[in-house]
Amino acid sequence: MQSPVRYLNAGDTALIVEFGNDIDKALVDAVNALREHVKQLHKQGHLPGLQETIPTFRSLAIVIDPLVISVDEVKATLQNHPVSAQQNTSTSSNAWRLPVCYGSDFGPDVESVAKATHLSTDEVIASHLRQTYQVYLLGFQPGYGFLGDTDPRLHLPRRTEPRIRVPAGSVAIAMKLTCVYPWDCPGGWHLLGRCPLPMFNAQADRPTMLSPNDTVTFESIDANAFNALEKDRINGVIQWSSWLNHSSP
């Protein structure tokens, strides 16, 4: 059963609307629905002073200009104008296909994941490829998308010993989620492969490839294809649009 919605003040500049305590698609969808609803209320003039909305797995932060509208007024507006079950609250989204070179040095944890899940290495890779993932939110690093849900057979806790360095582009799993690391950094997820596409570009009009509510599918490539795309990435000639299946308005 879904927990009652909670309204939490974050000072005088933000209201946090909290839907629960779990990583669950239903909660993520509720957050996305409210996020779109808030945008529509702002367009209709019900929420003047709206600055931005910040989604998490289970809550939405509504950031405001307190000189224009108060946190209490935002709460009252949301209660007086609730999200309707019949209302179309789907946000615009992109459908991406991301190339991944699985196993070997690109995905050093495939064999340990296979052992832990009682699957073959081919079944681990096939299970990861089979899903269509939703971008639940961006966080941890610029461009880092938390994608769910993985095949239940691949649900594993984080590694007991995190790595000091995870290479940029690493495709990993933990719990119900999968991700692509945008940068070299420490990390404790299980590495299945590596994607040669850049997840973040500070010079782009939209610096992150992924956005909340986008969908992602992965496609397997071999080492030669990876190296060719990696060369294109280094030379700055990869166009994100080439890996876009479609977008919705």
Give the chain's domains with CATH numbers: 6-80 (3.30.1360.40), 93-248 (2.40.100.10)
Q: What is the pLDDT of residue 177?
A: 97
Q: Which two tokens stand for residue 212?
A: 């909340």
Backbone angles phi, psi at 18, to 5 degrees: -110, 130
pLDDT of residue 116 exceeding 50, the answer is yes
pLDDT in tens, 119-163: 999 999 999 999 999 999 998 899 999 999 999 999 999 999 999
Band (pLDDT 50/70/90 cuts) for residue 2 is: low
**Positive or negative CA dihedral for 136, 56, 170, 115?**
negative
pLDDT of residue 248 exceeding 60, the answer is no
Which residues lie across from 101 on neighbouring strands?
A: 194
154, 127 Cβ separation under 8 angstroms:
yes
Q: What is the largest CA-CA distance in the chain?
A: 60
pLDDT in tens, 177-232: 999 999 999 999 999 999 999 999 988 888 999 998 999 999 999 999 999 999 99
pLDDT of residue 249 exceeding 50, the answer is no
Choice between 85 and 87, residue whose per-residue pLDDT is larger = 85
Q: What is the pLDDT of residue 206?
A: 87
Choice between 24 and 223, residue whose per-residue pLDDT is larger = 223
